Structure 1
């Protein structure tokens, strides 16, 4: 069994992949991993985690407050931590936003401090693609600071550093119906005697991408301001069967209330188009001047494609004016449950909080299916190096 700690866990997308596996297209418990504890500061995300992983101790606390004494007082056995997973807040690195090198951007230092305490054999650190282009206060690449900091832990009373590998993985290559690129850093402790180096998971050469339609086509249609907790169609794709499982009650499938202007914009924008298309209609006199959009990005007010994976799901997945989140076939933005489907959370995954808080949890998560592929790579690495302890 492999002992795991999840830092900055959020709702638990990464932990899901280390607690579940797929057997005959159904999620079942995976007893190869033992999650010792998870840490998340945001209370709603922490509560969501606790509801879905009741057997995992959740420390809902600022990570800066965690130290060896704190963990020992929680009666947690951290003497044999095999792997630490998780990624600090990504908003500071995101290419959508101000990109400030602020305290959130420096949270990797807290992650590193925890590594010095737990000294796992391996860590998996995840963050947005913008980490690769973010600059520090001196105008130098932040990614270089991060990688170098993981190499040398000598200031922590002689703690051992890590050899780090870096790779960009796209969730759509691993069965997730979403084009979502993320940076993964994997560190292997330098004192380990390895027979095989770490290998990132690779996508199947012939694997067909799962489309938005494949993912959410069985979910009920909704009009403006409507919601339902009833399934009205049977699943008809392998992915829908996997996500539905034995769930009988549909949760988090509620459409927002939109005004006349937004409804009209959604009515005229076709698949794959967005703000520039709307403004062209205005300029050509095909749409009234009041619909000219002066703010946003090129893919703001964007409609998704039915036969392609979605673009990256964000915290604003239910806001039509946000980044490409309008349903491909209906004149509305995505519901929270549709966002969860596109992040590969199954329908029985429970979210806690307001709709905005739930969408934040969904938008910030690591897709569950991608996490499963990472977990399988961890198993391969530990088995190849004979690191797995036999229980009993």
Structure 2
């Protein structure tokens, strides 16, 4: 069996969620690539030994990357990861014009896979990229991988099955040409981890009020609430309550929700203690953008609580000039614990293939 470590290059690395999980699994991350320079400080503060490369993948050349990182082509030990920004394929209402360029990122990532022919390839994205696999380039990419000797796993996974205390469905592709085994993320054989398992005073999160500012690296900072939203939240039952508590109050109910008991109930809602959290989006710090109310305190969840529900270690240091930038980094991240489940599956496959 080879004792060489698998080396990973993480394209579209952002603040390092995927890289963090791969490190936890035992994979050596040699570099993270992202065009957004604001991710650099966070990435370098946490992903030890990896180089942050600021580059636009549309302009980055394969040979330049090969020379810079001293990579080898046709290397069984090489893993290329491509978790491109996914707003264009998301079911959430976003500005598709602004994100239109991102729809071709998978095609650009494919250039590097074709050039390096690595032992392993990982792609992680929203389920929409699979529903529109022809337009996204995914269908052609999978065909190319299979034609060139890769065993391909491509499916939608619920990350709460892999140790993440959050409901979040993600498309995951794992391609392997080291052997003929299909590589799947390694699921937990235990009950799902819930909000109660990771948040609350018993987990090191002291009670705070809305608008709390925490300048320490722990970032237990909470957005402020106006008087109307504070009143709404105070009337919302603890542990999973919704806007239905005041749906018939013309003063309190948002005009579009007044007397409407159907439709989106998560808006202005509280999380449940004994369930995984809802999907942590880039707006998780805002009470009015989803079920992001604390289960019992009259506030939205804090930045650190959002990161914890994304399965980042509590020691993970986020560096950013604003709450919005940090929350975007957290909300867009691949949950590290899910990435670890992918990394462990790849290592196990590699060991099996080299015996």
TM class by shorter chain equals: 0.7 to 0.9
What are the residue-to-residue correspondences of 1:316-331 with 2, within 5 Å? 316-331=283-298
Please name the residue that 1:382 is paired with.
350
Counterpart Cα distance in 1 of 2:350 and 2:40: 29
Please name the residue that 1:303 is paired with.
270
Counterpart Cα distance in 1 of 2:34 and 2:206: 33
Please state whether the residue corresponding to 1:46 is helix, strand or coil.
Answer: helix
Please name the residue that 1:201 is paired with.
185
Determine if contact 1:99/1:134 at 8 Å carries over to the other structure.
Answer: no
User: For 2:163, which of 175, 180, 205 is the aligned residue?
Assistant: 175
Q: Which runs of 5+ in 2 are unaligned?
A: 258-262
TM-score by length of 1: 0.79
Please name the residue that 1:77 is paired with.
71
Counterpart Cα distance in 1 of 2:314 and 2:336: 12
Q: 1:112-171 CA deviation, whole Å, 9 max, x = no partner? A: 112122211111100112223347xxxxx546x4132242279xxxx9474432122212
Please name the residue that 2:33 is paired with.
39
TM-score by length of 2: 0.87
Counterpart Cα distance in 1 of 2:290 and 2:164: 19
Which moves more between the two structures, 361-370 or 219-228? 219-228
Please name the residue that 2:12 is paired with.
8
Instruction: Give the aligned length.
Output: 337
Determine if contact 2:151/2:182 at 8 Å carries over to the other structure.
Answer: no
Report how far residue 369 of structure 1 moved: 1.1
Q: 1:289-325 CA deviation, whole Å, 9 max, x = no partner? A: 3533427943211211011110110000101110211
Please state whether the residue corresponding to 2:87 is helix, strand or coil.
Answer: coil
Determine if contact 1:41/1:62 at 8 Å carries over to the other structure.
Answer: yes
Counterpart Cα distance in 2 of 1:348 and 1:216: 15
Aligned residues: CA RMSD = 2.5
Determine if contact 2:80/2:120 at 8 Å carries over to the other structure.
Answer: yes
Determine if contact 2:162/2:187 at 8 Å carries over to the other structure.
Answer: yes
Please state whether the residue corresponding to 2:100 is helix, strand or coil.
Answer: coil
What are the residue-to-residue correspondences of 1:351-390 with 2, within 5 Å? 351-353=318-320, 354-386=322-354
Greater RCO between the two (CA within 8 Å, min separation 6)?
2
Please name the residue that 2:52 is paired with.
58
Please state whether the residue corresponding to 2:39 is helix, strand or coil.
Answer: helix
Which is helix-richer, 1 or 2? 2
Please state whether the residue corresponding to 2:13 is helix, strand or coil.
Answer: coil
Counterpart Cα distance in 2 of 1:213 and 1:363: 20
Q: 1:23-45 CA deviation, whole Å, 9 max, x = no partner? A: xxxxxxx3xx2222210111222
